[in-house]
Amino acid sequence: MHSNVHIRKEEMATMPDRYRAMLFNSLSGFKSLALIATKNSQGRTNIGVFNSIVHIGAHPPLLGVVFRPDTVRRHTLEHILDQKSYTINHINQTMLPMAHQASAKFDDDISEFTECGFTEEYSITGTAPYIRESTIKMMMEYKMHIPIPLNGTIFVIGEITEAIIPDTCIQEDGYVDLQKAGTLTVSGLDAYFSTELIDRYGYARPGTVPHSLLNSTERSI
């Protein structure tokens, strides 16, 4: 029989910084995991690891990402605000552990592409590089950013202008099979997970019984 740990606001305030960051990063649940790649006006490329990417809307297709306070230089944020172009690249298992290594604080003149062994790949859609080793990737166009005064973070919103997805991973209804693509997820700051699909359900309506899309004769994949 286990017992619960009750952590109250007063205790949270006195926690060591790294412990508190790890606790609340993992407490929020499994999160999206991706590498954001950029290039500055001098042609220097950069890769950052992000677990705070969220869907905002589908028409137009918008994604948001939270950046930590700019109390130190944030190369990815600087490049996005300056060049307005960036890519979001899903991480698969073949990219670990070097994808994790991309979170290291490299000097300005060092590219994570070189240090982590990733390959630049370009499209006519934008100026930022894709990561060739990534299976699912998106070209993003910066739209706006919102400072969050509560903690100094910055919420950047961008529009998807191109998506590269294996044809075997897109189902007839538009669902993208991330498991088939090998996309990983993350808990906390350093724990990476593969995924396993349990089920898909039809559109929920009041007064109806949820029905499985995977175990139904109506399934069309």
**Would you state the pLDDT for residue 72?**
55
Banded model confidence at residue 221, pLDDT cuts 50, 70, 90? very low
Task: Give the sign of the dihedral formed by CA 171, CA 50, CA 37, CA 126.
Answer: positive
Query: Is the pLDDT reported for residue 109 higher than 90?
Result: no
- This prediction has a pTM of 0.91
Q: Which CATH number goes with the domain that contains 158?
A: 2.30.110.10
Banded model confidence at residue 218, pLDDT cuts 50, 70, 90? very low
Contact present, 132 and 120 (Cβ < 8 Å): yes
Phi-psi region of 159 (alpha: psi -120 to 50; beta: other; left: phi over 0): beta
Token representation of residue 138: 């998106």
64 inside domain: yes
Find the largest Cα–Cα distance for the chain: 60
9 inside domain: no
Q: How many domains is the chain built from?
A: 1
**Would you state the pLDDT for residue 203?**
87
81 inside domain: yes
Identify the CA nearest to 124 among candidates 177, 66, 85, 73: 85
189 inside domain: yes
221 inside domain: no
Task: Report the percent of the chain where pLDDT is more than 70.
Answer: 95
**Would you state the pLDDT for residue 81?**
95
203 inside domain: no
Query: What number is the average pLDDT over the span 82-100?
Result: 96
**Would you state the pLDDT for residue 132?**
97
Q: 129 lies in which domain range?
A: 20-193
Q: Three-class SS of residue 24?
A: helix
Lowest-pLDDT choice from 10-14, 101-105, 215-219 = 215-219
The whole-chain average pLDDT of the chain stands at: 91
148 inside domain: yes
Residue 1 identity = M
Query: What number is the average pLDDT over the span 140-156?
Result: 96
pLDDT digit string (tens) for 28-85? 999 999 999 999 999 999 999 999 999 999 999 999 999 988 665 678 999 999 999 9
Strand partners, 131: 120
More reliable by pLDDT, 213 or 1: 213
Task: Give the sign of the dihedral formed by CA 59, CA 65, CA 70, CA 74.
Answer: negative
82 inside domain: yes
